[in-house]
A and B are shown apart, each in its own frame.
Chain A
Amino acid sequence: MNDIKNDINLKEAVSRREQQLPPMPEGLNEKVMGSLEEYDCLKKKTPLHRGRGWRWVFLAAACVAGFVVIFLAPPKSAEKQPPVVIEEPTFNFQLSTFNFQLDDGQTPLEAQLAHQQEIKKKGERLAAYIQEQIKPEYDY
C-alpha cells in the first residue's frame, strides 16, 4: 500500500486535476435552502400564537370554558322568561257569488253560457292589449 501512496506523480496529477474543477457557484446554497423548505425538510417558522405550545393552551382554555358553561353556570328559570306568544295565522275567505241577470226568455243555463262568452271576449281583448304592450319597439 505504501508504494501506492508514495506515487508522487499520480498524487500531483490528481491534485492538478482537482484544482481545475470549477468552484461551487454562488447562491447555490440559497437555492438549496429554498428547495429544502419546499420539500418540508425544514421546520417552517410559525407565529408564536400558532406554535404547538400555544395551541395546547388555547385548547385547554376552550375545554375549561366549555365545562363552566355546561356544568357550573346557573340554569335560567322558566318563570323569568317572557311567555312565548305564538301567533297563528288567520285566514279570511270571502266567498263570492255570481248573480246572473236573466234576460227575457233566458234560462239560467243560457245566461251562464252568455256570461262565459262575455268573460272569454274580455280575456281575448286583455290578451291582445298585453300583446300590444309587450311588442318590441325596435325592428331587426
Chain B
Amino acid sequence: MEKETNTLIQDLRHQKPAACQKLLSDYGPAVFRMVQRIITQREDAEEVYQDVFVKALRGIQNYNPKQASLGTWLSRIAYNESLNFLRSRKPNIIYMDDRELGSDSFEVPDDAPQDEHTIALLEQALSLLPPHEQAIISMFYYEEKSLADIAYITGSIPSTVGSQLSRIRKKLYRIIKTL
C-alpha cells in the first residue's frame, strides 16, 4: 500500500495524467466530503473541489510524506481552500457564538446512554456550529482522525485540537438546552 502510494506520488510529480485520475478516484470522495462540510452550496463546493486539486498538483513537489499521509495532506488543502472561499464571500449566515450560550462551566453528561431525542437535538445543534467547528467534529467523530492529523489539517497543535473538541462538545450540549 505504502509502495503504491509512493509510486502514485512519484507519478504525480512527473505530471502523469493516469496518476491524476487515480488520485481523483481514490481521494476525490473524501476531499469532496471535506469541502461539503464547510461549503453547502453545490456549485461552490464543486468549484473549490477543483481548486483543491489544482493546488495539490502544483504543490506536490513540496509535499513531504513524513509529515502527513497523502489523504491528510489533501484534507489540509481542502479545509484551507474551503475556509478561504467562505472568507472571500460576504457572510450571510449567523452561527451560534459561545458568548450567547452563557458560562463555560456547563457540565456535559459523561457516558450517557444512547438516546434518540438527544441525537436528534445534537444533529440540529451541529448545523448551528461555524463551518470550521463542524469540520473538526466530523474529522474526530466520523473519520476518527487522530488529534495529530486534525492539528496538521487545521494548522494547529494536537493539545489545542483536544481543547477545541472539548469546548465544541460543551457548546453543542449548551445549544440543545436552548432548542
Q: Which residues of A contact B (CB under 8 A)?
A: 1, 3-18, 21-25, 28-29, 31-33, 35-37, 39, 41-43, 45
B50 touches A15 (CB 8 A): no
User: In the complex, which residues of chain B have a beta carbon less than 8 angstroms from the beta carbon of A9?
Assistant: 112, 114-115, 118-119, 122
> In whole Å, how far is A15's beta carbon from the nearest beta carbon of chain B?
6
- Subset of 27 A-B contacts with CB under 8 Å: A1-B147, A4-B140, A4-B165, A7-B141, A9-B112, A9-B119, A10-B169, A12-B119, A13-B119, A13-B122, A14-B142, A16-B123, A23-B29, A24-B28, A28-B46, A29-B21, A29-B25, A29-B28, A32-B49, A32-B50, A33-B24, A35-B50, A35-B54, A36-B20, A42-B15, A42-B20, A42-B57
Main secondary structure of the interface of B (DSSP, over half): helix
Q: Among A15, A41, A43, A45, which residue has its beta carbon within 8 angstroms of that of B141?
A: A15
Size bin of chain B's contact surface: 35 or more
| Contact across chains for A33 and B42 when beta carbons are under 8 A apart | no
CA distance A9 to B32 in the complex (A): 25
Interface contacts (Cβ under 8 Å), in number, total 110
Given the complex, which residues of A lie within 8 Å of B138, measured CB to CB? 14, 17-18
* Any A CB within 8 A of the CB of B166: yes
Interface check B33, CB cutoff 8 A: yes
Q: Does B91 contact A (CB under 8 A)?
A: no
Is the Cβ of A1 less than 8 Å from the Cβ of B17? Answer: no
Question: Would you call B15 and A41 a contact (CB within 8 A)?
Answer: yes
Residues of A within 8 A of B50 (CB): 31-32, 35
Q: What residues on A are CB-neighbors of B21 within 8 Å? A: 29, 33
User: Taking A6-B111, A22-B42, A32-B24 as contacts, is the C-beta distance between A11 and B32 under 8 angstroms?
Assistant: no
A36 with B54, Cβ < 8 A, contacts A15-B142, A42-B15 known: yes
Residues of A close to B142: CB separation below 8 A: 14-15, 18
| B126 proximity list for chain A (CB < 8 A) | 13-14, 17
Query: B37 — which chain A residues lie within 8 A by C-beta?
Result: 21
- For chain B residues 132-153, which have a beta carbon within 8 Å of chain A? 137-138, 140-142, 147
Interface flag for B172 (CB, 8 Å) = yes
